[in-house]
Amino acid sequence: MSTEVSDLPPGTPVIVGVGQFSERLGQPGYRALSAADLAAEALRAAVDDTGVDAGQVIAAIDTVAAVRAFDDAHPAAVAPLGAPDNVARAVAGRVGARPRRAILGPTGGQSPQKLVNDLCAEIAVGRSEVTVLVGAEVISTVRNLSGRPAAERPDFTEHVAGSLEDHGYGTDGMTPSQAVLHQMTEAAVFYTVLENARRARLGAGRADYARSMGELFSPFTTVAAANPHAASPVEHTAAELISVDERNRRITDAYPRLLVARDQVNQGAAIVIMSLAAARRLAIPTEKLVFLHGHADLTERELLVRPDLSRSPAAVAAIRYALDMAGVGVDELAALDLYSCFPIAVFNVCDGMGLDPRDPRGFTVTGGLPYFGGPGNGYSAHAIVETVARVRDRPGDYGMVVANGGLLSKHSVGVYATTPIAWQSADTATVRAELDAAPTVPVIFHADGWGTIESYAVRFNRDGARVGIVIGRLDDGSRFVANAVDGDDELTDVLADGEPLGLRVFARSTDRGNRVALGREQMARLLGEPVRALRDSYEHVRITRVGQVLEVMIDRPEVGNVLDARTHRELDEIFTAFEHDDELWAAVLYGAGDEAFCLGGDLRDAVSPIQLMSLPRSGFGGLAARELSKPVIAAVNGRADGGGLELVLACHIVVADEDASFALPDTGIGQPPGLGVLVRLPRIVGRALANDMIVTGRRLDAAEALGAGLIARTVPPGKAIAAARELAADIVTRSPVAVRTALSFLARNDHAADPLAALHHPDLLLDTLIAHHDPIEGLAALRERRVPNWRNT
């Protein structure tokens, strides 16, 4: 039995008005509006669309929610021409609204649909009566005007009073740090990786797969050509979309320009939602009412752990949930808008829902992101506007909007119809649990050895340079990200135009990320063999061999012995050589001068924490993540701050001048301490003191550090290095085999779940000792009352 509007609860949310506004450079009426101005124009259109007095509707607005603009989409984003600090209230003020609440949505293309879902839920429980959603981008205008002299550029900056509920970026896990390190920051590169993974799954060749992408998107251009708000209202054949020429240049190996989302647009959209009670009070015509019959929001697991890079099961699950809630099947939908930033986003839904890519209904109501335009995070607001218009024109029909954010990561779905229906809340916990229960792939940060290419991408820069990116599996099954070595045209050519899927490659980790080549010999030719012998000299480090002791001095006193990328590489090389040199049994590490042992990493040019990732596999200073089997003594002759303390914690014995000190200033500059600190400090000094040092920056003097067990000895000022030398001289009188065996056991057992369990396995020590000469020599020397003759064997 059908439900009448009069039978519904007064709190039932309904969409009552929708509007869009756009302008194009060089077109009649172009005004170079700001994003807030454009959104306000769209809001006026949406209010007018309600069919009642605009002043009454505006006066009733209690909530304005804004889609987050691209120039505020991530922590490093910058608005070249400025922007309002409260865009929701800036837009409201332009139309005369005085909302009680202002909301700024999260980053991602799912944001408009998710905000609609959330705002409807707020209305249903009585937290709001009349709310509007607005979003606009003027990227085309900004890019056009940013190049002008400062005096000719407008300033869109506004300081708007009033509260703001900022939902944050919501991008945690959306862009893996591994991807940033390996130059995968651009959406087209990410999605090319997903596209090529799908091509691998289908077993399709490059040409056939390109043809399928052109055939998928050609009907989108037909819709865009008829849309007055489209940024590129031009109809294209499938062949035109994939034919590479000067105007349709290659962005990546998979995508020419006409297959990727077009962000140079000036477009805004607005949606008016209110309770049924408010709609009745304002006398909104019944034919204007559109109901949200089904809705769902689900998030995919992060990219690199997904078992199948070519699929997003969460998107399919969200669609099925929304359709089940609406009580309709996918075949019953009259209108669909599938998020179309890149072909894979549409293919993913087609694959998961069993839809034919040539479905005569089409998959867009706007023209899609490459042709209608991709106004930042706001595209789906336009899709909702068009869907509302379509279901109004054909009462009883259903339309569905599928929105996507991140890397096929965040999915939001809405099913719309004019048929009256009471509000239904979504509970996707069971679906979420099923998605989370699926197996994941182990990911390795540092990749070394043979592997196989699972997927890939090549980015083509305008200057002709190419960047090759590989997602691969090592032979143990772990997944890694790597780049082709700069200058390796042989591999890059295969990635760009050959058939690299399933190809065997050799991976090697460096302090600038993982690199791959077509073989071990090719890698050695490109990067050289790993250095395992000491050089005569280094730029920022001084070394001295004294018998069986290696002295290592960080020689940057003018900057507090902070470590830049080159110093990290030199220390890594030095300690690697130390580990492989059988004639060296102990090392002493100290800093030049008397002010600082080491004040951490060089942050003078750092603008992003990602830059701090450029460390050797062995960790900070070539020590923090190294499994040391030979003793290293730290001589702390001054301050040991941040990374300097991380080095101290990595050493086996620490001797400090009485005026030395130890501190972690990291959180004061917005960074957590290094992993070596977070792992080791609580184990050494206890959780209470570690927490104090980490979160407050508390500085310990040498006496406090000694009492806490952070250091082994204190000596008068200026004597730490001499004391460390004496310790090293004592150590090398002892069996290097015994020392190595003990240190290796300590390192392994330090992280054991049950350290006492090792007491029942004396073989862990004995199996090592019986394979060496030194343990026998030590016992013989004891019996014969002579000095042992250690052979280090």
- Mutual orientation of helices 187-202 and 343-353 as an angle, nearest 10°? 40
Same domain, 419 and 469: no
Structural domain tally of the chain? 4
- pLDDT score at 603: 74
Tokens 């395992």 found at = 532
How high does pLDDT run on average in the chain? 92
703: pLDDT strictly greater than 90? yes
| Nearest CA-CA partner of 700 in 663, 738, 745 | 663
pLDDT mean over 25-40:
95
Neighbours of 523 (CB within 10 A): 21
| Beta pairing partners, 483 | 469, 515
Angle, vertex CA 471, rays to CA 470 and CA 472, nearest 5: 105
Same domain, 754 and 714: no
What does the pLDDT look like over 277-293, one tens digit per residue?
Answer: 999 999 999 999 999 99
Distance CA 433, CA 427 (A): 12
Percent of the chain with pLDDT over 90: 80
Torsion of CA 648, 649, 654, 657, to 10 degrees: 50
What does the pLDDT look like over 521-574, one tens digit per residue?
Answer: 999 999 988 888 899 999 999 999 999 999 999 999 999 999 998 999 999 999
Percent of the chain with pLDDT over 70: 95
Same domain, 747 and 723: no
Tell me whether residue 767 is in a domain: yes
Tokens 């020397």 found at = 781
Q: Return phi, psi of residue 127, to 5°.
A: -80, -15
467: pLDDT strictly greater than 80? yes
3-state SS, residue 657: strand
In 235-328, alpha helices (H): 238-242, 276-281, 313-326
Tell me whether residue 38 is in a domain: yes
CATH of the domain at 481: 2.40.50.840
Q: What is the DSSP letter of 276?
A: H
What does the pLDDT look like over 291-320, one tens digit per residue?
Answer: 999 999 999 999 999 999 999 999 999 999
Tokens 């290097």 found at = 736
172 in the Ramachandran plot: left (φ > 0), alpha (ψ -120 to 50) or beta?
beta
Pairing of strands 513-517, 479-484: parallel
- pLDDT score at 509: 92
Cβ contact 205:228 at 8 Å:
no
| Nearest CA-CA partner of 358 in 211, 204, 191 | 211
743: pLDDT strictly greater than 90? no
| Beta pairing partners, 598 | 640
Tell me whether residue 184 is in a domain: no
Q: Return phi, psi of residue 341, to 5°.
A: -55, -35
Same domain, 669 and 707: yes
Distance CA 175, CA 751 (A): 30
- pLDDT score at 761: 54
| Nearest CA-CA partner of 627 in 509, 749, 732, 786 | 749
Query: Which domain covers residue 271, as residue numbers?
Result: 5-179+256-436
| Nearest CA-CA partner of 276 in 492, 422, 113, 455 | 422
Six-digit token string for 666 = 């990291």
- pLDDT score at 755: 55
Instruction: Please name the helix (run of DSSP H) or strand (run of DSSP E) that holds residue 452, with its range, or none.
Output: strand 449-460
Contact partners, residue 16, CB within 8 Å, separation at least 6: 50, 272, 273, 274, 279, 284, 288, 289, 290
Tell me whether residue 577 is in a domain: yes
What does the pLDDT look like over 562-597, one tens digit per residue?
Answer: 999 899 999 999 999 999 999 999 999 999 998 999
Same domain, 502 and 597: no
3-state SS, residue 104: strand
Cβ contact 258:369 at 8 Å:
no
Put the strands of the sheet holding 410-417 in their side by side order.
291-299, 410-417, 399-405, 335-338
- pLDDT score at 764: 58
Same domain, 265 and 352: yes
Confidence tier at 735 by pLDDT (50, 70, 90) = confident
- pLDDT score at 732: 83
CA 350 from centroid of its chain's CA atoms = 26
Neighbours of 495 (CB within 10 A): 24
456: pLDDT strictly greater than 60? yes
| Beta pairing partners, 513 | 510, 511
Q: Return phi, psi of residue 126, to 5°.
A: 90, 10
Confidence tier at 762 by pLDDT (50, 70, 90) = low
What does the pLDDT look like over 131-151, one tens digit per residue?
Answer: 999 999 999 999 999 989 988
Instruction: Please name the helix (run of DSSP H) or strand (run of DSSP E) that holds residue 446, with its range, or none.
Output: none
Neighbours of 125 (CB within 10 A): 10
Neighbours of 711 (CB within 10 A): 26
Q: Which residues of 218-242 are buried (b: 16+ CB within 10 A; e: fewer)?
A: bbbbebbeebebbbbbebbebebbb
CATH of the domain at 586: 3.90.226.10
Looking at 472, 496, 527, the residue that finishes a domain is 527
Confidence tier at 73 by pLDDT (50, 70, 90) = confident
- pLDDT score at 765: 57
pLDDT mean over 103-121:
97
Tell me whether residue 697 is in a domain: yes
Cβ contact 385:228 at 8 Å:
no
Same domain, 294 and 421: yes
Tell me whether residue 793 is in a domain: no
Same domain, 749 and 719: no
Tell me whether residue 171 is in a domain: yes
163: pLDDT strictly greater than 60? yes
Which amino acid makes up residue 474? L
Distance CA 619, CA 649 (A): 12
Which amino acid makes up residue 270? A
pLDDT mean over 622-638:
91
Tokens 């750092």 found at = 606
One DSSP character per residue, 163-221 reads --EE-----TTTS-HHHHHTT--SHHHHHHHHHHHHHHHHT--HHHHHHHHHHHHHHHH
- pLDDT score at 613: 58
CATH of the domain at 415: 3.40.47.10
Tell me whether residue 444 is in a domain: no
Looking at 399, 414, 436, the residue that finishes a domain is 436
Cβ contact 196:501 at 8 Å:
yes
| Beta pairing partners, 257 | none
Same domain, 81 and 52: yes
Same domain, 720 and 743: no
| Beta pairing partners, 20 | 269
3-state SS, residue 622: helix
3-state SS, residue 13: strand
516: pLDDT strictly greater than 90? yes
In 585-731, alpha helices (H): 643-650, 675-685, 687-696, 702-708, 720-731
Torsional sign, CA 90, 92, 98, 104: negative
- pLDDT score at 751: 59
The burial of 750, by beta-carbon neighbours within 10 Å (0-12 exposed, 13-18 middle, 19 or more buried), is given as exposed
Residues recorded for the chain: 793
Confidence tier at 178 by pLDDT (50, 70, 90) = confident
Which whole-number Å values give the CA distances from 97 to 40, 91, 92, 123, 167, in the listed order?
11, 9, 5, 18, 22
pLDDT mean over 334-342:
98
Q: What is the DSSP letter of 635?
A: E
Cβ contact 41:248 at 8 Å:
no
Same domain, 708 and 776: no
What does the pLDDT look like over 367-398, one tens digit per residue?
Answer: 999 999 999 999 999 999 999 999 999 999 99
Distance CA 47, CA 95 (A): 10
Cβ contact 764:709 at 8 Å:
no
Torsional sign, CA 753, 755, 756, 760: positive
Which whole-number Å values give the CA distances from 247 to 224, 243, 299, in the listed order?
19, 10, 36
What does the pLDDT look like over 491-514, one tens digit per residue?
Answer: 999 999 999 999 999 999 988 899
Q: Round the CA-based radius of gyration of the chain to a whole number and report it.
A: 32
Looking at 527, 550, 583, the residue that finishes a domain is 527
Q: What is the pTM of this model?
A: 0.88
Same domain, 689 and 747: no
